[in-house]
Chain A
Amino acid sequence: MRHTISVLVDNKPGVLARVAGLFSGRGFNIESLSVNETLDPTMSQMTIVTRGDEKILEQINKQLNKLVDIIKVTDFQSKHVDYIDRELALVKVNVDEHRRSEILSIIDIFRAKVVDVSRTHYTVEITGDEDKINAIIDLFRPLGIKEIVRSGKATLPREKKPR
């Protein structure tokens, strides 16, 4: 199972090392990670995507909670919290005379942006959920991707809808 866990931590040096050390020391996996300051500058928000069976995920949640510098742990899947998540990717795609319009139409469909242009490459910025980013990469792949960089996830729980 793959879970997205949002972790509110004290914004202090060494906290990321504690979290990373916990995962490596206990043999847990981190698939992606993002860390940023919150509105309250004394706190940071980490979003960790991890994988494991039910027992491992339970341990991950409990072990995170046990760290002194960790204020709150929200595992969206196990708490059944509906949430929004977005990633950002920068993709450097090969271009030539014949493919230019094809690439531009893909970019258009996905509401992506060209952020850098050279004679041989477009650098495309795309945001969205993981599936969307995977889909555009999939379409670009036959055209030739030179480089790619992806961010971790930014996540927020959805507001409850009034009944």
Chain B
Amino acid sequence: MKIKGAQVLLECLHKEKVKTIFGYPGGSVLDIYEALYDSKINHILVRHEQGAVHAADGYARATGEVGVCLVTSGPGATNTVTGLATAYMDSIPIVVFTGQVPTGLIGNDAFQEADIVGITRPCTKHNYLVKDLQELPRVVKEAFYIARTGRPGPVLVDLPKNVLNQTMEFSYPDSIDIRGYKPTVKGNKRQITRAIADIMKAEKPVIYAGGGVILSDAARELRTFARRMQIPVTTTLMGMGGFPGSDPLSLGMLGMHGTYRANMAVTHCDLLIAVGARFDDRVTGDLNTFAASATIMHIDIDPTSISKNIEVDTPIVGDVKETLKDLLDGTKNKKITKAARKDWFAEIEHWKAKHTLAYEMDDIIKPQYVVETIYKLTKGDCIVTTEVGQNQMWAAQYFTFDKPRTLLTSGGLGTMGYGFPAAIGAQVGNPRATVVDIAGDGSIQMNIQELATAVQYNLPVKIAILNNHSLGMVRQWQQLFYDKRYSHSTFQAHPDFVKLAEAYGAVGLRATHPKEVEGVVKKALGTKKPVIMEFIVEKEECVYPMVPAGAPISNMMLL
């Protein structure tokens, strides 16, 4: 039986076991929405297409499944660009379907036409324009395969309206063969043997774990390996939860706002084992002094990440999980004792004693205290999303992440407005979990419209706004590096966030004194509705420690 293109698309999604789509209808995708009317697929109607992509991204990060998004042509499609770039930088598997004007009108400056394939070429892992319905099943299969395999990433599929109206006998391909796309999953055996020799020789090793550990579901393997070899682990922002933050071997986060001991350990180690990380400038600071006396080992599925910023001595191209399994196999009888690492651990303890994360309590609410209180009252059993800026760094510093897929944050692109729609996506994927968006008063307003989405689908997401009436991180840089000239970084007008929540049908709570913080968080956690918690926090608070951009990471401004 022949079916229409729109129906073909839904059949394909069914074959890919897609349960949820985040979307927004419009002229070019009316046929898909017509087919969705009778479909079992759960469609979440967002309030802005950017929200749809971030929600799909949050869904993907929290569940490990591919996030799916559906929007119309032209402005619908261009509104997905920031979401795609966010997912691309953080290697998040999502597939975005965009409507397109009929093939006959492409290039004609038609109503709601945008060359979205051209626009998104540099911010997607791959993209497609489907010109003939016969290609659609293969394209969808490839799109999902490319999104989730290798180094994952976003894929966009552009669907002209007339293609959705053509008919075909539906059949879905069983296998896939893309001649230009063959990710290397298994690490080279000789390199693995060399790596083990390096590890056995090292006296002061450090593991530097990134988002790749989480993407390849390798947290267990990493934990086993680090414990067997007694190697301290520092994680990047993207790697948090990939190794338990409360483990004695954990050094915390490294880099610009990392812990003192993590940065010192990396600076003085003799072997740095990078696992699914990419030596980002926020991690390395000055490249010449980064782990300067160490042998550098790098495990990554993406060959372009290797020796891009730092020359690598022992590269292993392969999936993080597979490679760690091979390293575990190769070190079965090679346990290293704590005693053998006595001197190295003593050095780390010394750095720890010299400086740990701390802040001073006051009559005014400290943002760090809010984060700690959320941690304490949830016992860490929740999914945290963040916006971008100070709120993001405090969440990373003062919340302890023990499990993977519990911190969802825009690490690479640094997208303000990411956290709240991502929290919606995470909540859809984990209906029973507590999901908290740690936000700033600036960021939250970038996608605040999604409150209506949370209310409509009864998604009890909790938003904690650390309200310092300014763009805190911008203000901090102006304070430290621009002579306290606070150019356009403070807000003189804000909505009443409590009333705003209520206007949307959500719950609004406010704390203005430290004594009220616990009560507000408790009340929010006990409410089965979306809640905005507004905390009026210290305006001048800075994120410390801090490494000035481009300086050696041992060169920390402590407090």
The verdict on A125 contacting chain B, using a C-beta distance below 8 Å, is no
Contact residues, A124-159 vs B (CB, 8 A) = none
Are A14 and B117 in contact, with the CB atoms below 8 A? yes
Instruction: Give the interface of B toward A (CB within 8 A).
Output: 117-118, 121-122, 125-126, 129, 146, 178-181, 302-304, 307-308
As a 0/1 sequence over residues 53 to 96 of chain A, the CB contacts with chain B under 8 angstroms (1 = contact) are 00100110011011111110000000000000000000000000
Instruction: Give the interface of A toward B (CB within 8 A).
Output: 9-10, 13-14, 17-18, 21-22, 25, 55, 58-59, 62-63, 65-71
Are A68 and B146 in contact, with the CB atoms below 8 A? yes
Are B118 and A69 in contact, with the CB atoms below 8 A? no
Are A71 and B179 in contact, with the CB atoms below 8 A? yes
> Given A68-B146, A68-B180, A68-B181, A21 and B121 touching (CB < 8 A)?
yes
Are B304 and A62 in contact, with the CB atoms below 8 A? yes
B122 contacts across to A, CB distance below 8 A: 21-22, 25
Q: Which 10 A-B pairs have CB atoms at the shortest separation, nearest pair first? A: A62-B304, A68-B126, A71-B180, A68-B181, A62-B303, A70-B180, A25-B122, A71-B179, A68-B180, A21-B121
Closest residue of chain A to B125, judged by CB?
A68
Are A10 and B303 in contact, with the CB atoms below 8 A? no
By secondary structure, the A interface counts as helix
How close is A135's CB to chain B, nearest CB, in angstroms? 39
Closest residue of chain B to A55, judged by CB?
B307
* Alpha-carbon distance between A13 and B115 when the two chains are bound, in angstroms: 13
How close is B66's CB to chain A, nearest CB, in angstroms? 16
> Can you pick out 28 interface pairs between chain A and chain B where the beta carbons lie within 8 Å of each other?
A10-B179, A10-B180, A13-B129, A14-B117, A14-B121, A17-B118, A17-B121, A18-B121, A21-B121, A21-B122, A22-B122, A25-B122, A55-B307, A58-B307, A59-B304, A59-B308, A65-B303, A66-B303, A66-B304, A67-B180, A68-B125, A68-B126, A68-B146, A68-B178, A68-B181, A70-B180, A71-B179, A71-B180
B181 contacts across to A, CB distance below 8 A: 68
Determine which residue in B117, B121, B146, B178 has the highest number of CB atoms from chain A within 10 A of its CB, and name it: B121
* Alpha-carbon distance between A58 and B306 when the two chains are bound, in angstroms: 10
* Alpha-carbon distance between A10 and B126 when the two chains are bound, in angstroms: 14
How close is A66's CB to chain B, nearest CB, in angstroms? 6
Given contact pairs A59-B304, A63-B304, a sample of 17 additional A-B residue pairs in the complex whose CB atoms are under 8 Å apart = A10-B180, A13-B129, A14-B117, A14-B118, A14-B121, A14-B129, A17-B118, A18-B121, A21-B121, A22-B122, A55-B307, A58-B307, A59-B308, A66-B302, A66-B303, A70-B180, A71-B180
A21 contacts across to B, CB distance below 8 A: 121-122
A58 contacts across to B, CB distance below 8 A: 307
* Alpha-carbon distance between A68 and B129 when the two chains are bound, in angstroms: 15
How close is A54's CB to chain B, nearest CB, in angstroms? 10
Closest residue of chain A to B122, judged by CB?
A25
Closest residue of chain B to A18, judged by CB?
B121
How close is A113's CB to chain B, nearest CB, in angstroms? 39
* Alpha-carbon distance between A114 and B122 when the two chains are bound, in angstroms: 45
How close is B177's CB to chain A, nearest CB, in angstroms? 12
How close is A63's CB to chain B, nearest CB, in angstroms? 5
* Alpha-carbon distance between A88 and B355 when the two chains are bound, in angstroms: 67
How close is B207's CB to chain A, nearest CB, in angstroms? 24
* Alpha-carbon distance between A67 and B118 when the two chains are bound, in angstroms: 15
How close is B555's CB to chain A, nearest CB, in angstroms? 25
* Alpha-carbon distance between A22 and B126 when the two chains are bound, in angstroms: 12
A70 contacts across to B, CB distance below 8 A: 180
* Alpha-carbon distance between A65 and B126 when the two chains are bound, in angstroms: 13
B307 contacts across to A, CB distance below 8 A: 55, 58
B303 contacts across to A, CB distance below 8 A: 62, 65-66
B178 contacts across to A, CB distance below 8 A: 68
How close is A61's CB to chain B, nearest CB, in angstroms? 9
Determine which residue in B118, B180, B181 has the highest number of CB atoms from chain A within 10 A of its CB, and name it: B180
* Alpha-carbon distance between A67 and B302 when the two chains are bound, in angstroms: 12
A71 contacts across to B, CB distance below 8 A: 179-180
B129 contacts across to A, CB distance below 8 A: 13-14
